[in-house]
Amino acid sequence: MSNEQSVPVVQIVNEAGRRRTFAVISHPDAGKSTTTEALALHARAITSAGAVHGQGARKGVTSDWMELERERGISVTSAALQFGYRGHVMNLVDTPGHADFSEDTYRVLAAVDCAIMLVDAAKGLEEQTRKLFAVCRHRGVPVITFINKWDRRGREALTLLEDIETHLGITPVPVVWPVGGAGDLRGLVQASDTEQMLRYTKVPGGTHAALEEVLTAEEATEREGEAWETALEELELALSSGPGYDQEAFEAGKISPVFFGSALSNIGVKLLLDAVVDLAPSPAARPLAKGGSREVTEEFSGLVFKIQANMDPAHRDRMAFVRVCSGVFERGMNVTRAASGRSFATKYAQTVFGAERTVVDTAYPGDVVGLINASALRVGDTLYTGKKAEFPALPAFAPEYFAVARPKDISRSKQFRKGVSQLDEEGVVQVLVSDRRGDQAPVMAAVGPMQFDVVLHRMEHEFSSPITLDRLSYKLARVTDPEGAAELAKARLTDAEVLVRRSDNALLALFADKWHLSAFQRAKPDILLQPLIATAD
């Protein structure tokens, strides 16, 4: 198939303008997957939400397709959902909520144009939320705040806004305000129209959208009394203390529009979805690794931000998720992988809705395309046609947990090697090897221990090679060079070791703790020991 871009530029501009590509981020248990379901429900992309009363019953959440996710009631991998709403194409990339899977979330944030940050009304800003917000700020991703679970007891609204400004260094600007305190949600009032109140009636189980009733200010005063008056006073106070909403300030990351509601009860979710359409930026030019940028109207380019195997148990295939960054993707087109300069045909391309797939023939900037069995691709790869494009690499997080993997059954060595290689390519864990240990005893390096649970589960159930994981005592990893590796080898330290990261051949020096690292640095101050992206900052 010819790679010549036959679609008119004006069509690309119009189609890109219709796209909204966003992620939902939060601390664990803040309601992230429930919010994802509720957004899809309000867009009428699904007819009934899978989230009902707590994690134990969350067996049908659309975005949680992996068996382990359904067993645990948590999201451990990102999933892409595409649906239409108000004439727009919504590309919602769900992310893992658990801190152990921060690296996967970081990769997703490289592929979106906006993020919805969930804040638990009772718990306020939590550690993982702060980390993910910092990643958004680093990547220039504007953030919409949704204060969730307002139908449960929690903190005061003004206090939550003050915490956001104090701890995140961003000005919260209320767009929607709750009528009634946390645990006593009477309804919502919009900052743009304080002459009416939106009153809701919950649907049992939250499986369908809550019934909405519009009250005039007079009706709200009569029916809600002091709660309505207090809401107006608090809203006025919150608005008077800040600069007000400004689109440029939002896209620059200076302010965050704030919404209140309850995803589980489907209250306030439609207003949030409307805000994504009205406020979130559409795809724009993306910076290149060596300077300059790739405009959305140029020929096709895309970023591989995730690789996932065995999404379809019947076929045991492998899917590379590609964010279209510029031009038009057409199924069957020949694209070039920037890292190798080699081209391949995109014969098998699909869009994804959780575990459901649909063949895609054409995709525009902002869309997420799944390429099937593109075995040459790696996370962070740039694909392009025409003029070469290469986007900045996705850096790895600093692992803090290490374990040696060994097959329980030596006769399954082939499956063992295949599984380890696949998990490494997907970025489930970082796989480290050394001459001393050999390929039959690779070291799995993880940001959090739950990643090891995923490794154990998938090695047994997907690759038919059960393994053992023997934990190592190392806690710190630093990038070094051949000279540093030689010095560590000569020192013969029992609390340090150098291994090679398989994905990029980087040399990683592992240390038991910061004191052993500091002692070696004092003894060898000229040796390269460069930190990776910190997970604790």
**What span, in angstroms and rounded, lies between the C-alpha atoms of 286 and 313?**
35
Q: 245: closest CA among 174, 189, 188?
A: 174
pLDDT at 431: 95
Q: What angle do CA 102, 107, 108 make, to 5 degrees?
A: 95
pLDDT at 398 over 90: no
88-114: average pLDDT: 79
483-503: average pLDDT: 89
Q: What percent of the chain has pLDDT over 70?
A: 88
Residue 94, annotated ligand binder?
yes
The CATH number that domain 10-279 falls under is: 3.40.50.300
pLDDT at 204: 67
499-518: average pLDDT: 91
Task: Say whether domain 286-384 belongs to CATH 3.40.50.300.
Answer: yes
Residue 331 CB partners (closer than 8 Å, separation 6+): 346, 347, 349, 359, 360, 361, 362
**What span, in angstroms and rounded, lies between the C-alpha atoms of 333 and 229?**
60
pLDDT of 65-75, one tens digit each? Answer: 455 444 544 44
pLDDT at 183 over 70: yes
Strand ranges in 410-525 using DSSP code E only, listed in sequence order: 430-433, 443-446, 467-471, 476-480, 496-501, 506-511
- β partners of residue 84: 89
Residue 21, annotated ligand binder?
no
For the chain, the average pLDDT equals 87
Residue 317, annotated ligand binder?
no
Global pTM? 0.83
pLDDT at 218: 96
112-137: average pLDDT: 91
pLDDT at 100 over 70: no
Integer CA distances (angstroms), 101 to 59, 79, 90, 417, in order:
21, 13, 24, 23
Same fold, 10-279 and 401-531: no
Confidence of residue 248 (pLDDT cuts 50, 70, 90): very high
Strand ranges in 255-367 using DSSP code E only, listed in sequence order: 255-260, 286-287, 293-294, 301-309, 318-326, 329-330, 334-337, 343-345, 349-353, 356-359, 362-363
Question: Are the C-beta atoms of 295 and 326 separated by less than 8 Å?
Answer: yes
How many CB atoms lie under 10 A from the CB of residue 413? 13
Confidence of residue 78 (pLDDT cuts 50, 70, 90): very low
Burial status of residue 292 (CB atoms within 10 A of its CB: 0-12, 13-18, 19 or more) = exposed
pLDDT at 55 over 50: no
pLDDT at 328 over 90: yes
The residue behind tokens 């910076």 is 287
Residue 253, annotated ligand binder?
no
pLDDT at 534: 58
The domains of the chain are located at 10-279, 286-384, 401-531
How many CB atoms lie under 10 A from the CB of residue 36? 29
Residue 516, annotated ligand binder?
no
Overall CATH class of domain 401-531: alpha beta
**What span, in angstroms and rounded, lies between the C-alpha atoms of 117 and 121?**
12
Q: 403: closest CA among 469, 500, 497, 502?
A: 469
pLDDT of 220-231, one tens digit each? Answer: 999 999 999 999
